[in-house]
């Protein structure tokens, strides 16, 4: 009796706390969206003169759209690099033994937790030493390298659940490693690979600390936004952020659906 009774106020406090934390997490996002429709610019309470002007200005803003295209290129290139090297790295960690393996694992995962400034600066020194001119390419190399960690962790987790008997059967039945990889291993890892690709893509689209040091002449979207923020606040930034937020939400929902369907399919 006493346990049940004392549980009620406790869970109520937890509920209030949870509501407050969610409010804290969503307040800036709500402000962002709300003020993208505010005729009076950013700030000032209450918002009034609701308008779509900022979206109109945004759609006519060439530099922003150029930077979005640049970011997309970087994100796709980073995704290609990270998957190309991250998937084999996961296979290597799962299936091989070699001297320095523990160090290799730590090294691959390090950029995930290391402040971006260290990754960015060390790569800047590398490109400087090699005489490579900074461009979108150097940013893509930076993102790709840092995000190998994401591909490796996701795929490695997938491999832990994988039943090796299927691959063994494929090899026994005469398929070579290459065929087995594409026809058995990859299809079984479809979900972690898609998940990693989506995550790499969004992380690259939003990345700024590494890009900050590797930027050449062309801006990525976050750097374009950064440049404008330093000059002053404009609701146009709110508008572009709102669009990206909605885009990300759609991506999450699609990904979630895919996953639920796959889980229903296998279960």
Partner 1 sequence: MFSRAYKTVVTLPPLLWVTVFLLVPYALMFCYSFWSVSPSQLIVHSWNLQNYKDLFQKPTYWQTLLRSMWIAARVMLFSLLLGYPLAYFLSFYAGKRKDLLYQLVIIPLWVSYLVRAYAWKTILGSDGVLNTLLQYVHLTKHPLDFLLYSPFAVVLTLTHIYTPFTILPIYAALEHIPRNLVEASHDLGATPAQTFWKVIFPLSIPGVVAGATFAFVLSLGDFLAPLLLGGPSGIMISNIVVSLFGAAFNWPLGAAISLGMLVIVVSLLFLSERLEKKWSFS
Q: Which of residues 193-232 bind partner 1 (CB under 8 A)?
A: 202, 206, 208-209, 212-213, 222, 225-226, 229-230
Rounded Cα distance, 105 and 102, in Å: 5
CB of 169 to partner 1, least distance (A): 11
How many residues touch partner 1 under the rule CB under 8 A: the total is: 83
| 45 is a site residue for partner 1 (CB under 8 A) | yes
Q: Which of residues 227-266 bind partner 1 (CB under 8 A)?
A: 229-230, 233, 237, 241, 244-245, 248-249, 251-252, 256
The phi and psi torsions of 99 (rounded to 5 degrees) equal -60, 140
Interacting residue with partner 1 among 44, 187, 216, 227 (CB under 8 A): 44
- In 3D, which of 138, 263, 137 has the Cα closest to residue 195? 263
| CA 51 to centroid of chain Cα atoms | 32
Interacting residue with partner 1 among 23, 50, 110, 254 (CB under 8 A): 110
Residue among 77 and 89 whose Cβ is closer to partner 1: 89
Rounded Cα distance, 210 and 228, in Å: 19
| 168 is a site residue for partner 1 (CB under 8 A) | yes
CB of 184 to partner 1, least distance (A): 12
- Which residues neighbour 77 within 8 Å (Cβ) at sequence distance 6 or greater? 137, 140, 143, 144
Residue among 69 and 233 whose Cβ is closer to partner 1: 233
Stretch that binds partner 1, among 51-59, 109-117, 154-162, 188-196 (CB under 8 A): 109-117
Query: What residues are paired with 38 via a beta bridge?
Result: 50
What's the burial of 171, exposed, middle or buried (CB within 10 Å: 0-12/13-18/19+)? Answer: middle
* DSSP H/E element including 193: helix 190-206
Interacting residue with partner 1 among 25, 60, 173, 264 (CB under 8 A): 25
**Tokens 């369907």 sit on residue:** 261
CB of 89 to partner 1, least distance (A): 4
User: 202 is written with which tokens?
Assistant: 């969004």
Residue among 59 and 177 whose Cβ is closer to partner 1: 177
Inter-CA distances, 136 with 7, 68, 139, 169, 212, Å: 56, 12, 5, 44, 11
| CA 210 to centroid of chain Cα atoms | 14
Q: Which of residues 147-166 bind partner 1 (CB under 8 A)?
A: 148, 164
User: 32 is written with which tokens?
Assistant: 């962002």
Stretch that binds partner 1, among 27-35, 49-57, 154-162, 187-195 (CB under 8 A): 27-35
| 17 is a site residue for partner 1 (CB under 8 A) | yes
CB of 26 to partner 1, least distance (A): 7
Q: Which of residues 130-149 bind partner 1 (CB under 8 A)?
A: 141, 145, 148
| 129 is a site residue for partner 1 (CB under 8 A) | yes
Rounded Cα distance, 169 and 205, in Å: 41
Interacting residue with partner 1 among 86, 158, 192, 195 (CB under 8 A): 86
């Amino acid at each position: 009796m006493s346990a049940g009774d004392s549980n009620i106020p406790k869970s109520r406090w937890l509920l209030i706390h949870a509501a407050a934390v969610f409010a804290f997490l969503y307040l800036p996002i709500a402000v962002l969206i709300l003020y993208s429709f505010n005729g009076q610019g950013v700030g000032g309470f209450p918002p009034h003169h609701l308008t779509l002007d900022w979206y109109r200005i945004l759609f006519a803003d060439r530099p922003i759209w150029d930077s979005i295209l640049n970011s997309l290129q970087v994100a796709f290139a980073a995704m290609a690099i990270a998957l190309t090297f991250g998937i084999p790295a996961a296979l290597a960690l799962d299936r091989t033994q070699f001297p320095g393996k523990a160090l290799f694992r730590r090294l691959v995962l390090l950029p995930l937790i290391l402040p971006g400034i260290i990754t960015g600066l060390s790569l800047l020194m590398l490109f400087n030493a090699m005489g490579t001119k900074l461009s979108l390419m150097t940013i893509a190399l930076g993102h790709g390298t840092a995000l190998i960690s994401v591909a490796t962790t996701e795929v490695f987790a997938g491999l832990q659940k994988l039943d090796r008997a299927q691959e063994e059967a494929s090899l026994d039945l005469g398929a070579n490693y290459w065929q087995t990889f594409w026809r058995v291993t990859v299809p079984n890892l479809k979900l972690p690979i898609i998940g990693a690709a989506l995550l790499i893509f969004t992380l690259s689209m939003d990345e700024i600390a590494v890009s900050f040091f590797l930027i050449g002449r062309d801006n990525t979207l976050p750097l374009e936004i950064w440049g404008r923020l330093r000059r002053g606040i404009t609701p146009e930034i709110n508008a572009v952020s709102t669009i990206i937020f909605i885009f990300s939400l759609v991506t999450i929902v699609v990904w979630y659906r895919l996953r639920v369907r796959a889980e229903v399919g296998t279960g």
